[in-house]
A and B are shown apart, each in its own frame.
Chain A
Amino acid sequence: MQRITRREFVKRTAVTSAAFTSLPAILAACGTSTGPSNKPSKLVIAAVKGNEDAPLKKVAPKYKSETGITMEIVEFPYDQLFEKLVTTFQANGSSYDLCMMDDPWMPKFGTMGALQPLDSNFGFTRDSDIPTVVYDVGTWPPPHGPVPPSEKGKTQHLYGITIVGNVEMFMYRKDKSDAPKSWDDVLTNAAKYNAANFYGYVIRGKATNPVSSDSLPILWSFGGNIFDDNWKVQLDTPASIDAVTFLTRSLKKYAEPGAENTDAADRSRLMAIGQAYQSTVWPGEITDIVEDPSVSQVKGKVAYIPIPQGKSGKGLGMMGNWLLGIPKGSKNGSAAADFIKWMLKTDNMRNYVANGGIPIRKSILTDASLTAANPYFPALAQSFDAVPNWRPRTDQWNAVETSYGTAMNAAVAGQMSPQAAMQKAAGEIRTLMKNANYPS
C-alpha cells in the first residue's frame, strides 16, 4: 500500500473539508428566494427583554387581529441586544424587520447608516401631541448639541420613533416629607430619615451603564458634563468632580451597603420593601415594582417628581427612550412602518398604557383619569416639558460609558477618590476620542 505524505494528506483534507463546509452555502444559493411582498405574514422585532417590551408583547395579538400580520418578538437581554444589532447591521442582515433601540444607541446606528429613514421613505411627520424632544432623539445627525465630525453636513432624517417614553425621574417617600426641591434638600432628607435598616438614599452604583445612568442627572444638574459642545472632555473640571463627590461621598454616607453592586432591580426592591427613602427612578421600575401591590409595601406612599435642581440652578432629567427603527436590511420596510404608525395612534397607545406601556403622547400623560393607575404620568409630562438631556450623541458612547461607569463604580466603592476617578476616566476618554478622530 502506497503511503501518502503528510503534506498530501493535509492538502486533501483541506480540499475535502472546504467542499463539505461549502455545501450548505452552495445549496442555499441554488434555492429560490422569495421576493419582497407588500403584506408579509409576519414581522420580526428584535426587542429588549424586560419591562420595556412586555407591553409590546401584550398588544401584538391585537395588531394581528386587525391586520393579519403576526408580530414575532425576539427578545435579548440589554447588552446582548446591542451586540446582536451591531453585528446584524454590519452584515446588512435581514433577520429583523424592526428593532428596539435604547436612545444612546442611535448615534452608533446613525453613523453606521444601519436604519431606513422614516420621514423620507415612509412619510412620517411630527405630531404636535408628541414632545419635540421625542422626535429629536430619533433624528440623526442630532438636531442640537455637538455633532460627531464624520456626521457634519449630512442631511437630518428621522430614524426612530419612541415607544417607551422613559425619562429618568426622582422618587421619595411622600408619607414622610415634602418633595425635595434641590439636591441639598435630598441630602438633608437623606440624613434626617436615615436609620437602621432604612437608607436615606439609594445609589444605583453597579459598574458601567447602571452607575452612569444614575449619576449623569446629578452631574448635569451640578453644571458638570462629559463633553462640552466641541467634544472636549469635562469630567475632570471642578463642577464635575463636585457632582461626583456629592454622590459618592456626601450621599453615600446615607446609602445602602453594597451600593457599588446595586442595580435598578435592587433599588426598586429596597423602595418596595420599605427600606429606602429616596432615589432616582425609571418609569419601568414604578409600574413593575414600586407601585405593584403584589410585591410592594409602599404603594401610594411614594411620589414621583422631575430631577431636583443642582448647583447649576437646573434639574436635568435624562432621556432613556426606547425607539422602534427599521433596519436597512429589512425586506418589509413598508409593513414595519405601518406597525409603528399603528402603535402611535392615540387609541392604540391608550391600550398600550393599559397593558403597562409608557406613553409619549402629552394628551395621555396629562389625562387625569389615568393618573391614579399611573402616578408618575404628571412628573413624566413635566420632565418632557423641561426637555431632558440626552447622553452625548457620539458613536463612541458605549466605550465612553464603559470608562466613565467603571471609574464611577470605583469612586462609589471608595476604591478611588472622586478626583482620581474622574481624572482616570477623562484620560481614557480623551485617548478614545482622539483615536476616533474627534477634536478632544
Chain B
Amino acid sequence: MSDVIVIEGGRVIDPASGTDGVRTVVLKDGTVAAVAERADRPAGAQVVDARGRWVTPGFIDLHVHLREPGQEYKETVATGARAAVAGGFTAVVAMPNTKPVNDTLAVTELILARAAAAGLARVYPCGAISRGSGGEELAEYGELKAGGCVALSDDGKPVMNAALMRRALEYALAFGLPLTVHEEDLQLVGKGVMHEGATSTRLGLKGIPGQAEDVMVLRDVALAELTGGRLHIAHLSSAGAVRAVREAKRRGLRVTAEVTPHHLTLTDEDVAASGYSTDFKMNPPLRSAADVAACIEGLADGTIDAIATDHAPHSLVEKDVEFDAAANGIVGLETAFPVCLALVRAGKLTERRLIEALTAGPARAFGLPGGRLAPGAPADVAVLDPQAAWRCEPAALYSKSHNSPWKGRTLTGRCTHAFVGGRLVHQADGEKR
C-alpha cells in the first residue's frame, strides 16, 4: 500500500494532539505522514474533499459482540467489522462470550484470522477472565495475551466470586491486561428485566435497581485498591457507579470506565413509550433520567473515559418474543456517532469531549495504538459529516442484525469515509472518491 491519500479541507478534531481546525491530512505507508495547514499533493495522490466535514482519528470501540464463533446467524467478524467502519470505528474490542468462549488461544486465533481476511476494522480480541466465563477458575492469561488479547472480561456475567476477582486482578498484572467487568449483583438483579422504578411498576416488569451495579463497582474498586490491578468498568449506567469511579480516580486508583450511547440518551420511560419493544431491553437496563444525567456529567468531566457501543446483535428469534423472554442487547456501531452527536447539539457535551471519548479515551484505557492524528500514528481515520441526515432502517445497516431502538428514526451525522492503515475501507453511498 504505497498509495498516498490526501484529505483536504476538513476540520481536523484530534483531542490527543490538541488540534481543532482546518488541516490537510496526508496518509502514507499505513501511517499519518502529515497534519498541516498546508501540504503538497504528491503526484498520483488520492484526494478526499472533506470540506464541511470533520476529520478525526478512527473511532475505537472497547466493547462489541461479533458473535463468531458460534452465533454467525447474528453477526460474523466480517459483518461486524463492516458495520464498525460504516460507523467510523476503525478498531473494536471483541468480547469473549462467543460459543465457545474465547478462553483459549484457538478461539483468539480464529477471531484474528477472520478479521485479517475481512481486512476492515482492526479487531482486538478480549479473553475471558475465568475458564468458560464460568466464574470459578482463572483462564490462561499468558496464552491469551501472547495470542493477541488486549483485555480480559467475563462480559455478560459479573464475576460474583470476590476471591476469584481479586486473584484475576492480581494475576493479570503480570501481563499488563486490564479487566473489563460487567457489574451487577445477580441476587439483587433476581429476575429483573428493566430498571426498577415507577416505570417498571407501571409496566408490571420486574425491576433491577441501579444499586445492583453500584455494589459491584464499589466492591471491585476496593479490590483494585487491594491489588493495584487495572480495572475497567464496562457499560457503566448508574449514578452511583459514576460516583464510585470518580472517587476511585480521585484517589489515584487504576480505574477506567466506558458508557454506551444508549445509556447517555435513553431512559426507562422509553421502554414504556415503545410499548414493551424488546429493542429497548438490554443489560444494564435503560435507567432513570437522573442516572442518564449523571452519566453525561461523568463523560463530560472525564470520570468516564470512553464511549463504547456494547454492539450486541440478535436476530428476530431472540427478539420477537415476550419482553421477559427476549435476549438483552442492541446493535450500536452504526448509530453511535449520530446518537451521541445529539448530545453536542443539545449543549450537554463538547465536540472535543465527544471525539476524545471515541478516540484517545479508549486508546489510553486499554493501551491501544491509534486514537490520534499525528505524524507516525496509524493511518486510521474517520471522515464525518455532522449534518447528514439518514434513516436508520434495516436496509441502511451493514450489521446482520437490526435490533436497534433507533429503527425507523432519522439520525443526523454519519461517517462518509473510513481509513484503516491508510486504506479506504468505507465510503458512504453517494460519496465520490
Are A and B subunits of one complex?
Answer: no
| Residues of chain A having any CB pair with chain B under 8 Å | none
